[in-house]
Chain A
Amino acid sequence: DVKVTQSSRYLVKRTGEKVFLECVQDMDHENMFWYRQDPGLGLRLIYFSYDVKMKEKGDIPEGYSVSREKKERFSLILESASTNQTSMYLCASSFSELAKNIQYFGAGTRLSVL
């Protein structure tokens, strides 16, 4: 079974703090993704990576950065957390080959910024 593990289920941070959200997958997937989930808005793509050290902006990258130093690990960084970044964050991974590009999701990290 594919496993996508997010390091924390719940996080509480203060405005201005630097926040790291970690994601690890065990299926040797090339692609990894970070989404945020907000009620009524569905999932919105923040950043994705199709290879080690490669990254591309998604639909809402402002206020975020990412790091992919190893194939299995993809980190989301909030440089200076703000209250409007309070949300559920979901990590996903997939193969690049189109015929096998089903995305597998982690359980999510619920982040509260106070």
Chain B
Amino acid sequence: GDSVTQMEGPVTLSEEACLTINCTYTATGYPSLFWYVQYPGEGLQLLLKATKADDKGSNKGFEATYRKETTSFHLEKGSVQVSDSAVYFCALTGEYGNKLVFGAGTILRVKS
């Protein structure tokens, strides 16, 4: 079945450092790919998405590119802020469905 693997955390960075959180997936066909973020005490909210190969999703300075050849969707940000501290989830939906399959989540801690 479909699955998502993302790097284990926690990831601890200093403010203004570069961020990469790796995400790879296994799926049949052409899934849509998502990054969700969960701030402390809140539910998940969509950060960005990409629906086909080579699409780049971006939002709030975060970017991720749908790479079909490497089945990856790595999350990147050039300069993190303390307010980016959260749990980040990579997820996919199958080509014909709308059920989300999540990775285990990566905790990001940004220190000032």
Contacts and interface: CB of A to CB of B under 8 A. Distances in A.
A94 B102 contact: no
Interface in B26-59: 34, 36, 41-46, 49
A76 interface: no
Given A42-B103, A43-B102, A4 B43 contact: yes
A94 B98 contact: yes
A107 B89 CA distance: 16
Q: Is the interface of B mostly helix, strand, loop or mixed?
A: strand
A42 B98 contact: no
Interface residues of B, number: 19
Interface residues of A, number: 24
A31 interface: yes
Contacts of B100: 33, 43, 45, 103
A102 B42 CA distance: 17
5 contacts: A4-B43, A42-B103, A44-B102, A45-B99, A102-B34
